[in-house]
């Protein structure tokens, strides 16, 4: 049952991000003017303990991770720095502020935020 609830949580996040997208089905990005905004949400238990520690992330059955990266929408697809703000909302309408951390690895830039959820 817990796995079903976690799957539903991830599916709801993905649908919320992609609800108004004109992209092809299955795409996990939106084109916003000169940028491609790529996104994914997953349970924090999907990452290895040493990775979680390196990025100061808590692994828990009650925490998810939202990962967003922004690329310039041209042939080079260069990673872009950004200031992100976000909120997560559960099925009851309760909101939670997402606090994004910037991670730079070589030419890649991405932003991670943790989100609490309960079963």
Q: What percent of the chain has pLDDT over 90?
A: 67
Beta bridge partners of 42: 65
This prediction's pTM: 0.74
Helix, strand, coil shares of the chain, percent, nearest 5, are 20, 40, 40
Tokens of 84: 């992100």
What would be the CATH architecture of the domain defined by 2-116?
A: Sandwich (2.60)
For 58-112, the pLDDT digits (tens) are 999 999 999 999 999 888 899 999 999 999 998 899 999 999 999 999 999 999 9
């Amino acid at each position: 049952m817990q796995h079903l609830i976690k799957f539903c949580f991830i599916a709801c996040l993905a649908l919320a991000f992609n609800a108004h997208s004109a992209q092809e089905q299955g795409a996990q990005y939106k084109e916003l003017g000169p940028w491609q905004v790529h996104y994914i949400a997953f349970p924090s238990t999907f990452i290895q303990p040493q990775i979680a520690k390196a990025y100061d992330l808590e692994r828990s059955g009650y925490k998810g991770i939202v990962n967003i990266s922004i690329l310039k929408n041209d042939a080079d697809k260069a990673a872009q720095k950004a200031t992100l703000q976000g909120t997560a909302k559960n099925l009851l309408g309760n909101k939670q502020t997402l606090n994004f951390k910037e991670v730079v690895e070589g030419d890649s830039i991405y932003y991670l935020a943790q989100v609490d959820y309960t079963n």
